Chains A and B, each alone.
Chain A
Amino acid sequence: MKMLRLALLLPFLGLLWLPFYDRIEPSFLGFPFFYWYQLAWVPLTSLLVLLVWKKGARS
């Protein structure tokens, strides 16, 4: 359960390390990579929190 909580560090890594996404291409639906990558982290973070909560509560 404690280990699972480490999954909550992923959004911090993914969003605070700029070399991952400080780029224009590849774009998606007209959105440069910089924008769609960050927007994609919104539902992803939501899911991660849900996962940690539900799995954590079960164990």
Chain B
Amino acid sequence: MTAQAPGPAALIVFILFFAATILLGSTVSWWRAHRPAHGADKSEDWGLGGRQFGTWVTWFLVGGDFYTAYTVIAVPALVYATGAFGFFALPYTIIVYPFVFLVMPILWRIAHAGRHATAADIVRARFGSRPLELAIACSGLVAVMPYIALQLIGIRTVIAALGLPGEIPLIVAFVSLAAYTWLGGLHAPALTAFIKDIMIYIAVLAAVIVIPVHLGGYAAMFATAAQHLPKPEGNHALMAGQAVPYATLALSSALAAFLYPHTLTGVLAARSADTIRKNAVMLPAYTLLLGLIAMLGLMAHAAGIVTTHSSSVVPLLFLAIFPAWFSGFCFAAVAVGALVPAAVMAIGAANLVTRNILTGRGQDVGAARIVAFGVKLGALACVLFLNAQFAIDLQLLGGLWILQTFPALVLGLTRIRFSAGAMLLGWTVGTLFGTYLCFQDGLKPTHVLALGGLHQAVSTGLLALLVNIGVVAVATVLVPGRRTETTVA
């Protein structure tokens, strides 16, 4: 980064807010009157907050967990690079809520009754199949690991923008994150999520009010930004051929979003099914914020930011527009914004490992802590020793893999009697097919279908899911019924 460092004021503000959040989260068990929920054991308290989070805590937790720091960096970066196409995150985070409203209260009820903490727990209870449980757990684990790495990359991006050299700051951030999760469990991100969210709201609202004023209003901002981007035909906002990828990526992302271990952990930690329904109504407030965050990518063009390193678009924009101290505040918002989801992700991964992959460790909070630490260490190693592109590619594949758990977890809720074997076969075929296509296409999220001379790019994850569901349907017709332990070669 060649941008001038913003000076000591920004650095002091940054460290102040970051340290305060870490301290608050790590000590949560001391200053929070210790009251484990009725019947909840220690591991359930650490890994699921004792299933006692009310409407507001759930709102902040899921909001903080779903709209991550990486989102704040990556969505504007995509919009900066591609223009209107990058906005597919907006329909994605709208249509996800009718889905959450219909499906998640049912999953919550099953999990509550059976004291399940993970998707794999629920699937095991439904199908009674250990191989299927392992398949679901492995998908969750490999999908969430690169996500944690991306949060660390988010922290590194803002630290670099503050002008701190080397890898030491990242390691300091990592140690803080580790201590925070170890000591506080899910209570740490739950109770610091509100700090993160308020900081992000302040930063983004300031940006979307101040920046257009600088640039002469929204109409002028859109007009200037359009000059820096490829021009779509006629009255269109998207380029020719982008409409189908836009819609299919939005749909596949929305179907995958709440299958991830971290989002599901947030949902299962809710106090009641109605808490989730209320949140399906209230969470779209974050989507409005996300829409504004996405605009930052256009504003960067209008503000004359020129960079080939698109993930530094947001830091550069903040530095260009805001006074140094406020840039420091915004960077702290992003860094704190990375802690909350990273902690929940590590906890979600730990729940999977202790409950579904290793057996008989479900009650062991010590093991869960060690696994959560190991998962984060893996993410750190990935960021330090492999390049960032590796984490980004893996996250793309992770989205495809987690989507293949949709049939077992969601279609398994219907009255149709799918067999475990059919589900396992569908999962295997969908995962292999999607991964193969993705590699064939050079790790792009869409695959070009040739239908009678018509070439059309479609979300690869969605194609793999369709193949997966097709296999499940055929296998269910051929071998119907609810026979458990059907073996599949």
Contact = CB atoms under 8 A, between A and B. Distances in A.
Interface of A: 5, 8-9, 11-12, 15-19, 21-25, 27, 29-35, 38-39, 41-43, 45-46, 48-50, 52-53
B237 A29 contact: no
Given A42-B288, A46-B281, A15 B94 contact: yes
A38 B95 contact: no
A23 to B, nearest CB: 5
A46 B284 contact: yes
Contacts of A30: 217-222
B102 A5 contact: yes
Contacts of A22: 236-238, 243
Interface string B273-289: 00001001110110110
B291 A42 contact: yes
22 contacts: A11-B95, A15-B91, A16-B247, A16-B251, A18-B238, A18-B243, A23-B235, A23-B236, A30-B217, A30-B221, A32-B237, A33-B237, A34-B87, A35-B87, A38-B291, A39-B288, A41-B91, A42-B284, A43-B288, A46-B97, A48-B98, A49-B277
Contacts of B243: 18-19, 22
Given A22-B237, A45-B284, A17 B247 contact: yes
A52 B98 CA distance: 10
B287 A8 contact: no
A23 B221 CA distance: 17
B285 to A, nearest CB: 8
A39 B219 contact: no
A49 B281 contact: yes
Nearest to A16: B247
A45 B98 contact: yes
Q: What size tier do the contact residues of chain B reach? A: 35 or more
A28 to B, nearest CB: 10
B219 A45 contact: no
Contact of A38 (B94, B98, B101, B219): B94
B246 interface: yes
Contacts of A5: 102
Given A16-B251, A34-B84, A38-B91, 11 more contacts: A12-B95, A16-B247, A18-B238, A23-B237, A34-B87, A35-B237, A38-B87, A42-B288, A42-B291, A46-B285, A53-B277
B258 to A, nearest CB: 15
A13 to B, nearest CB: 10
Contacts of A19: 243
Contacts of A12: 95, 98, 251
Contact of B218 (A9, A31, A41, A53): A31
B222 A8 contact: no
A1 to B, nearest CB: 13
B235 A25 contact: yes
Contacts of A17: 247
Contacts of A15: 91, 94-95, 247, 250
A15 B251 CA distance: 10
Contacts of A50: 281
A8 B98 contact: yes
B219 A49 contact: no
B392 interface: no
B388 interface: no
